[in-house]
Amino acid sequence: MTGLVTGLAAEAPLTAGPGRRALGAARLLLSRPGLLVSVVVVLLALTAAFLPGLFTSGDPLAAAPARSLLPPGPGHPFGTDQLGRDLFTRVVYGAGPSLKVTVVAVAAGVVLGGLLGLVAGLAVRWLDDVIARVIEVLLAVPSLLLSLTLVTALGSGTVNVALAVGLANVAGFARIMRAEVLRVRTSAYVEAAEAFGARRHSVLLRHVLPNAYGPLLAVATLSTGTAVLAVAALGFLGYGAAPPAPEWGALVAQGRDYLSSAWWLTTMPGLTVAAVALAVNRIARAEGEWAGLR
Which residues does residue 76 pair with via DSSP β-bridges, in sequence order?
73
Radius of gyration of the chain (CA): 23
Rounded Cα distance, 218 and 229, in Å: 18
Smaller CB separation from other proteins, 201 or 256: 256
Residues that bind other proteins (CB under 8 A): 133-134, 137-138, 140-142, 144-145, 148-156, 225, 229, 232-233, 236-239, 249, 252-253, 256, 259-260, 263, 266-267, 270-271, 273-274, 277-278, 281-282, 285
218 vs 253 by CB, closer to other proteins: 253
In angstroms, what is the minimal distance from the CB of 278 to other proteins?
Answer: 4
Rounded CA gap, 26 and 42, in Å?
Answer: 16
Task: Please name the residues in contact with 177: beta carbons below 8 A apart, sequence gap of 6 or more.
Answer: 113, 114, 116, 117, 118, 120, 121, 212, 216
Taking the complex as a whole, the smallest distance from the CB of residue 269 to other proteins amounts, in Å, to 8
Sign of CA dihedral 67, 72, 76, 81: positive
Nearer to other proteins, 57 or 260 (CB): 260
**Contact (Cβ atoms closer than 8 angstroms) between residue 94 and residue 246:** yes
Residue 216 contacts residue 176 (beta carbons within 8 Å): yes
Residue 255 CB, nearest distance to other proteins (Å)?
8
> Which CB sits closer to other proteins, 190 or 283?
283
d(CA 123, CA 60): 51
| For other proteins, the closer CB: 89 or 224 | 224
In the complex, the smallest distance separating the C-beta of residue 224 from other proteins, rounded to whole angstroms, is 12
